[in-house]
Chain A
């Protein structure tokens, strides 16, 4: 293969790659654009449109959703902002607690042999197979007994523990792709097993931890049934609960729901933008050399 051939083939390939990605972006964005159009429309005239263009564009839906306030102790509080903060705090805490519980467990499952290992793994997987259809009331009774009803801590604990099985599987897979030599080298250098885990394995697994954390975050961020069931104070609500209130018994305010959904997804995109910088190939390779 001559050099110019190689170059043109790589240029062709690059165009092809961009074409594939652009197609996928189109597929991903098209339904979202309908949501955007719904959120920005002042009216909606039903007609089989192909392009999701808003009719009589207006920002009033966004304003109506986001500018809610409540009077607390005589002072006006920006309720929506408060609830947005609730959502972000609860979801970040879920991600942190979930990862904190799952990481050591995943490491043990990846590196140690111990009595009850396969039974434990099977149980973890089994928890994911069981639909929660009949377990909401037992969970409610349990939280009541623990005094964790109507508290953000209770909600975070519920979310975090339900993500733990997934986090463990995901992190275990990630730890298994990290060469054992790395820790062994550290231990030869005098580090303890735990020291090697914290100093060597965790940094090398950073991308996987970021991805798993993002998952745990998303799990908590979009959930509304449990939040609405466990929380009984308006200023503790997370945003999905607030948005769900636009769906009534007889009719739904879809424009407001759509507008709220768009606002809700902005923090997620910002978070993902931060996380995705950790998703750079070859980090481990650097670790081996260093």
Chain B
């Protein structure tokens, strides 16, 4: 390089300083410049509707805008992100004025301060049946939602398989029709393993999921009899035991199920070619009563800021009015919550859903209801797999429910903590000052200055946007309850986790067992990722390899396609009855005359865990492969050639030249890969879902369950997160000690 090139290089340094300065100024500017406020009279409405329901809503809103001149901003959100977005936005005043959700969330929303009473947005209460009004009534009275539409399951019947005039009036008679159906068709399909569908059976036997005093209701003789009844139906072969929602749809649509228990949403998936009708759910003779499914009321809810605005309430009245309800019924085929909108007499499907709504049981909107699902699902699965008697399974479900709803720990005094924190800060500051005065340190700091110039941006960005939120998140582990009314409990959350909340320390789902599962999960994945990824990287980097580019692109596909859908493809392949793995077993049996039995993958820990690992290995190996490919480019060809000339065998060249040279790039990737695997809740959620009985859950999926399905106990979830951090930090230290070279 010639000396003349020095000038631009020096200028670049100055440039980089300018850049740092500019970034700082830009950041300050964004802080100082006031946000453009949205127009005062603009209404923000959030919803998670799809298809025709969304289209009708848009049409109604456009009408209202034309009539009144108010502007409405509609936002359609994914259901999965809906509640968490509301929880983040509404307390800061960034949320909607009005939103649409099921009434069963009202208890939770009230608890978190996300909704307000609707006031005059409801219009006249004479227009709603009392049952619908109870759904949106708070525990201390008052209406918290404006009812729009009703949803419950009913019985879909294929009219080409069953004569609509001769649909049996009892479920027993319906199931008994099995022998008259075509080969391979079920008499009835429904989500037998889910508590939502099971509630209709439970209701027939006189049971409830949640008692009025908010205790677990899915116990006792009614619950046991409902489970025994379902068991016998499945044993008779007339009902598939392990159908999820998508499979129920497919079975019914393809004529492999003569009837199905499902809600109005199934109709949208059926299209016009499938000949079907809908009737009210039959009676259960053994229970001497009708099946009583859960009723959910979709309602307009007002945020605390939205309730104060006159025109927001006017919009609510427009959207819930008679004309709007008629349009919704006509176009989106929803059942109106109003009693002055009758379904047309010539539409048997709508009529059946409306009739069903009148016998259905309003789902409790108490927060405790949300804690019943997980234990109830688990109990149903245990019984249907034949692992436990109904009585034992239900008793253990009640224990789980009580465990989740245990009373929160008493408040602790923060004073000793504040003193300790203050003392630590003071001592730290003193130590810093002393070190800064030390001439050696000063010299070292001066010597470090050039390095710091390269580091400022990273330190600034990471501390602000990564470290700060994490520290605040970690601090929530010392609290209980929602952010504004929660209180300090000290280490009570940690104590609860580490003592398994008073239960046996080594029972399924206790912290220590979950740690073991997580460690096994991480280790297996890491080894397989490395072996497959590095192996493929080495093979692909052979200079003479043909089609290398194509192979590389094909091999990163598992990484490229969104994992949400591929994880579900994997889950589908492991389905006991219709999965591709079962297809392969049938094929093998046909070819070799063997008698291999299809495996129920999610019934046992070992097979469910294998399914999780297989999926995660598949998702993760391309990353290791790409890292290896990148690292291999740094291996000089001369070094390999020199080794070859010296008579090194292929293995020796790999062992002593290639691997040591790619190691600096592989070690951090492997280390971070292991940490990410440790915290990979996606795959566990989507593939096994923790089945069987939560045994395949790892630490982080436990943490997420506490945060999202167990009544938003964020402090408890944060305590899990801190424990995960402590474990991982300890483990990395240990690996550094053991494998000296693995140091970062």
Contact = CB atoms under 8 A, between A and B. Distances in A.
29 contacts: A25-B554, A28-B557, A28-B622, A34-B580, A35-B566, A38-B569, A48-B583, A49-B583, A105-B457, A107-B454, A125-B671, A125-B732, A130-B470, A133-B718, A138-B469, A161-B461, A161-B464, A161-B465, A194-B13, A195-B10, A195-B12, A210-B630, A218-B559, A225-B80, A225-B81, A228-B77, A248-B50, A251-B265, A280-B633
A76 to B, nearest CB: 15
Given A168-B458, A211-B626, A24 B555 contact: yes
Nearest to B463: A123
B251 interface: yes
B256 A45 contact: yes
B552 to A, nearest CB: 5
B12 A194 contact: yes
A244 B580 contact: no
Contacts of B77: 228, 241, 245
A149 B68 CA distance: 30
Interface string A12-49: 00100110110011011101101100100001111111
Contacts of A224: 78, 80-81
A21 B80 contact: no
A212 to B, nearest CB: 8
Nearest to A129: B728
A173 interface: yes
Given A27-B618, A142-B469, A207-B633, A254 B246 contact: yes
Contacts of A129: 675, 678-679, 724-725, 728-729, 732
Ranked nearest first, the 7 interchain pairs of A and B with the lowest CB-CB distance are: A195-B9, A135-B473, A114-B448, A244-B78, A48-B583, A112-B451, A228-B81
Which of A25, A44, A128, A279 has the most chain B CB atoms closer than 10 A to its own CB? Answer: A279
B542 to A, nearest CB: 6
Interface string A160-192: 111011101110111011100000001001111
Nearest to B566: A31
A144 to B, nearest CB: 5
A72 interface: no
B1 A115 contact: no
A17 B454 contact: no
Given A112-B451, A124-B462, 9 more contacts: A21-B540, A46-B256, A177-B631, A177-B662, A234-B75, A245-B76, A249-B48, A279-B626, A285-B637
B544 interface: yes
Contacts of B630: 174, 207-208, 210-212, 279
Interface in A220-255: 222, 224-225, 228-229, 232-234, 240-241, 243-254
Interface in B553-607: 553-566, 568-570, 572-573, 577-580, 582-584, 586-587, 598
Nearest to B53: A248
A80 to B, nearest CB: 14
A25 B669 contact: no
Interface string A126-164: 111111111111111110111111100000011011101
Nearest to A255: B269
B185 to A, nearest CB: 11
Contacts of A139: 465, 469
B539 A17 contact: yes
A165 B555 CA distance: 26
Contacts of A117: 451
A77 interface: no
A108 interface: yes
A1 B156 CA distance: 75
Interface in A196-212: 198-199, 207-208, 210-212
Interface string B595-634: 0001000000000000000000010001100110111111
B569 A35 contact: yes
B417 interface: no
Contact of B672 (A145, A147, A169, A218): A169
A178 B634 CA distance: 7
A166 B549 CA distance: 26
A215 B544 CA distance: 27
B392 interface: no
A265 B700 CA distance: 28
A14 to B, nearest CB: 7
A232 to B, nearest CB: 6
Contacts of A144: 92, 94
Contacts of B580: 34, 48-50, 52
Nearest to A52: B580
B254 A132 contact: no
B553 to A, nearest CB: 5
A22 B465 CA distance: 43
Contact of A133 (B6, B465, B671, B717): B717
Q: Is the interface of A mostly helix, strand, loop or mixed?
A: helix
A172 B668 contact: yes
A276 interface: yes
Contacts of B473: 130, 132-135, 138
Contacts of B563: 222
Given A137-B87, A279-B629, A128 B672 contact: yes
Contacts of A137: 87-88, 483
Interface of A: 14, 17-18, 20-21, 24-25, 27-29, 31-32, 34-35, 38, 43-50, 52, 100-102, 104-105, 107-108, 112-117, 120-121, 123-142, 144-150, 157-158, 160-162, 164-166, 168-170, 172-174, 176-178, 186, 189-195, 198-199, 207-208, 210-212, 214-215, 218, 222, 224-225, 228-229, 232-234, 240-241, 243-254, 257-258, 261-262, 264-265, 268-269, 272-273, 276-285, 288
Nearest to A179: B636
A180 B76 CA distance: 54
B78 A247 contact: yes
Contacts of B549: 273, 276-277
Given A140-B89, A164-B462, A169-B744, A261 B474 contact: no
A263 to B, nearest CB: 10
A137 B717 CA distance: 13
A61 to B, nearest CB: 12
B500 interface: no
B205 interface: no
Contacts of B78: 224, 228, 241, 244-245, 247
Interface string B434-477: 00000001001101101110110111011011111110111011
Contact of B467 (A127, A229, A247): A127
A174 B721 CA distance: 31
A222 B450 CA distance: 37
Contacts of B700: 131, 133
A174 B462 contact: no
B250 A31 contact: no
Contact of B454 (A24, A35, A105, A265): A105
Given A114-B448, A132-B473, A135-B473, A190 B6 contact: yes
A107 B736 CA distance: 22
Which of A130, A210, A279 has the most chain B CB atoms closer than 10 A to its own CB? Answer: A130
B726 to A, nearest CB: 9
Contacts of A138: 468-469, 472-473
B125 interface: no
A18 to B, nearest CB: 8
A232 B45 CA distance: 11
B74 to A, nearest CB: 8
Given A147-B35, A195-B5, A252-B246, A240 B562 contact: yes
Contact of B85 (A146, A192, A229): A229
B156 to A, nearest CB: 13
Nearest to A137: B88
B88 A229 contact: yes
B461 A126 contact: no
Contacts of B724: 129-131
B720 interface: yes
Given A250-B151, A258-B565, A140 B92 contact: yes
